[in-house]
A and B are shown apart, each in its own frame.
Chain A
Amino acid sequence: MNDLLFDVGYGHFLVLAAVLFLIGVAGVLVRRNALIILMSVELMLNAANMTLLTFSRMWGDQSALAAHTFALIVIGVAAAEASVGLAIVVAVFRGRRNVDVDKLTTLRH
């Protein structure tokens, strides 16, 4: 127990990333507001980034810096995704006056 508390190793970082990812998954599955769902997706992307950086730190040599580049690219993709997703939310709200994903069922009928 003492080892688990005070010998913080790479496993701790990986578990933290996994917990954040699962909270993001829970947010996507449970919440019905499109904005919260987008934020949960951002949370999952961050957890993936943390896993990348943990493994990069684990190897710790020059070639492992490619993981930093990859994480930077992921942040860029997340920014693009957030902007387009929020634009879609605004467009949907303009037409329907709500962003509840359970009520947006026009394509189903």
Chain B
Amino acid sequence: MKISAFLIALGLVLGIATPAIVAAQPVPTAERPGGAKEVRAVVEKTHPHDDIVESHGKGMAILFWIFAAVCITGAVFVVTRRNLIAAVMGMVGSFIGIAAVYMMLYAQFLAVIQMLVYAGAIMVLFVFVIMILNRPEDEPVAPTGRAGQVLGGVAILYLIGRLAMILINVTLPNKAMALAAPAAINLPVFGAGSGAPVSEAVGWGTVKAVGTDLFGGGLFPFEAISILLLVAVVGAIAIARPLHPHDGTDADPGVHP
């Protein structure tokens, strides 16, 4: 429990620190005189690889390893802890680490959504249900015996190893785009007076860019997901409602047959 609290505190501090560090990274843009090309030339000389995400020193690499450790430690907590609240706290730490990794991938909007929806809303829902259940579990892990557990662990490690061997060598087909930060995209501005159509450069992965795509090509999935959420809310209320509300208090689950 103390470890999970430490994990969450670490994730919080790092989650606050990351945007600042990402913002402090020099983004090679066309306007900066002699910026992008020099940086890229130096980087290509010192690093022969073609798929380095952040090439301005070792800071981003160290941050990536820290966030990866937070993610994986939280996930392992979820699977191994017997205490359900400890599992939820590990899950929150894992989600915070995942949000930080999203931030490293220039998905600022998705990182904020991850924090709000997952670490905020869904995990609170889990905590509510755990408090309603309020029952320690007897046997948390399927009784397969020591041999079965060892076999399962070896199988998982083997799968991880094979996947890592394949995935670690993934490279970008278009090598020219690999080094730089994602370029700003140009969006048309509507309703900005009259005359010639103007365009506005917004950062890749920001709310504006994602929102333009969401309400452009993704409009039908967006509306469909709203219907789905409505159905889910109604269904959740219908399922979780007591069957016979008149013969007992709702505060004591289990009195209804």
List residues of A whose CB falls within 8 A of some B CB.
3-16, 18-20, 22-27, 29-33, 35-36, 38-40, 42-43, 46, 49-50, 53-54, 56-62, 65-66, 68-73, 75-84, 86-91, 93-95, 97-100, 102
The reply to whether A11 and B204 contact each other, CB–CB distance below 8 Å, is: no
Residues of B within 8 A of A61 (CB): 177, 182-183, 185
List residues of B whose CB falls within 8 A of some A CB.
47, 49, 51-54, 58, 60-61, 64-65, 68, 71-72, 75-76, 78-79, 84, 87-88, 91, 94-95, 98, 101-102, 104-107, 109-110, 113-114, 117-118, 121-122, 125-126, 129-130, 132-133, 135, 137-142, 152, 156, 159-160, 163-164, 167-172, 174, 177, 182-183, 185, 204-205, 209-210, 213-214, 217-218, 221-222, 225, 228-229, 231-233, 235-237, 239-240, 242-243, 253-254, 256-257
The reply to whether B91 and A8 contact each other, CB–CB distance below 8 Å, is: no
Name A18's contact: one of B102, B107, B167 (CB within 8 Å). Answer: B167
The reply to whether B101 and A68 contact each other, CB–CB distance below 8 Å, is: no
Give the complex CA separation of A82 and B135 in angstroms: 20
The reply to whether A83 and B75 contact each other, CB–CB distance below 8 Å, is: no
The reply to whether B61 and A30 contact each other, CB–CB distance below 8 Å, is: no
Give the complex CA separation of A31 and B183 in angstroms: 44
CB distance from A38 to the nearest CB of B (A): 8
Name B106's contact: one of A12, A57, A78, A83 (CB within 8 Å). Answer: A57
The reply to whether B110 and A53 contact each other, CB–CB distance below 8 Å, is: yes
Give the complex CA separation of A83 and B237 in angstroms: 9
The reply to whether B125 and A30 contact each other, CB–CB distance below 8 Å, is: no
Name B129's contact: one of A8, A23, A35 (CB within 8 Å). Answer: A35
The reply to whether A39 and B87 contact each other, CB–CB distance below 8 Å, is: yes
Q: Is the interface of A mostly helix, strand, loop or mixed?
A: helix
Name A32's contact: one of B105, B142, B229, B242 (CB within 8 Å). Answer: B142
Residues of A within 8 A of B177 (CB): 59-61
The reply to whether B51 and A77 contact each other, CB–CB distance below 8 Å, is: no
Give the complex CA separation of A9 and B51 in angstroms: 5
Give the complex CA separation of A5 and B64 in angstroms: 10
Q: With A43-B75, A53-B105, A94-B256 in contact, do A22 and B160 touch (Cβ < 8 Å)?
A: yes
Apart from A32-B139, A80-B228, 10 more pairs, CB < 8 Å: A13-B101, A15-B168, A29-B142, A36-B79, A42-B118, A43-B91, A50-B101, A60-B183, A66-B218, A91-B239
CB distance from A21 to the nearest CB of B (A): 9
The reply to whether B64 and A68 contact each other, CB–CB distance below 8 Å, is: no
The reply to whether B49 and A30 contact each other, CB–CB distance below 8 Å, is: no
Q: With A60-B204, A77-B225, A95-B257 in contact, do A27 and B210 touch (Cβ < 8 Å)?
A: no
The reply to whether B139 and A69 contact each other, CB–CB distance below 8 Å, is: no
Best-buried of B47, B49, B68, B217 by chain A (most CB within 10 Å): B68
Q: With A72-B210, A98-B135 in contact, do A82 and B122 touch (Cβ < 8 Å)?
A: yes
The reply to whether A20 and B107 contact each other, CB–CB distance below 8 Å, is: no
Give the complex CA separation of A95 and B142 in angstroms: 23
The reply to whether A10 and B210 contact each other, CB–CB distance below 8 Å, is: no
Give the complex CA separation of A100 and B141 in angstroms: 10
The reply to whether A31 and B232 contact each other, CB–CB distance below 8 Å, is: no
CB distance from B11 to the nearest CB of A (A): 14
The reply to whether A46 and B118 contact each other, CB–CB distance below 8 Å, is: yes
Residues of B within 8 A of A82 (CB): 122, 125-126
The reply to whether A23 and B68 contact each other, CB–CB distance below 8 Å, is: no
In the complex, the chain A residue whose C-beta lies closest to that of B256 is A94
CB distance from B155 to the nearest CB of A (A): 9
